[in-house]
Amino acid sequence: MTETRTIAFVLYPGLTALDFVGPLQVISALKEFGLGFEAVTVAAAREPLQTDTSLSVTASHTFEQVPAPYGLIVPGGGVPTFTALADEQLTDYVRQAARSAEVVASVCTGSLILGSAGLLEGREATTHWAAMPILRAFGATPVSRRWVVDGRVLTAAGVAAGIDMALHLAGELVGEDAARMIQATIEYDPQPPFGPIDWDRVDRGFMESWIRSAAEKGLADHPELLARLAMADGAQSMSP
């Protein structure tokens, strides 16, 4: 019998729900289709965690119960994600689990957690477009793409891009035909009511200011790390 390989989604307080729920739906289908993989969620404790919506979630496992998953996926968020950069229990788990993982991935600002765990040094990576410069603080080269693959590390851009990344990952794990079936099963065929994003009309300044504010709030008790991010971002407003 083929051994089931585990993909662990890392949860922490305040994360963005869609960052992990979208990819989790994709990866969970691998088990439903009998393709040799299972998706689990892991956190420091099995207790309800508030997301950035009115939804609370509880991990299926603790960090200790899944010390060496086949794959690791870290979601992002706003202020709580910046706070998580200084959470040693979280970053230690990500670092340790990544040592033996065949796949290490992130969605949105979850890439900053990978960076804080020392996993992006010398790699190309992406994140939410407003946080891209901050990747340099962790030795990464920012790349503006929907998802970026550098060796065994995959990083996805903001929020909904996690679904794209997860479908790509599914294709790598079990083949394109199966990944296409998963895409059809979840009917992932984006047709937004206002068409694709018109980047020329996006208020970049507003969102970039919001990201800096989130960093300032999330790392208020960690001025050295905040200053490190500010130096990479080139934004003096992030300095403590």
Contact by Cβ (8 Å): 194, 173 = no
Task: For residue 234, give the 3-state DSSP assignment.
Answer: coil
Contact by Cβ (8 Å): 121, 141 = no
65 φψ region: left (φ > 0), alpha (ψ -120 to 50), beta (else): alpha
Residue 51, CA distances (Å) to 21, 27, 54, 134, 222 in order: 11, 20, 7, 23, 22
Q: Which H or E run includes 115? A: helix 110-116
Q: Based on the residue annotation, tell me whether 108 is a catalytic residue of this protein.
A: yes
Q: Pick the closest to residue 85 from 196, 222, 186, 190 (CA basis).
A: 222
Question: Among the options 7, 73, 108, 219, which is catalytic?
Answer: 108
Task: For residue 218, give the 3-state DSSP assignment.
Answer: helix
Two structure tokens written together for 35? 């393709």
Active-site positions?
Answer: 108
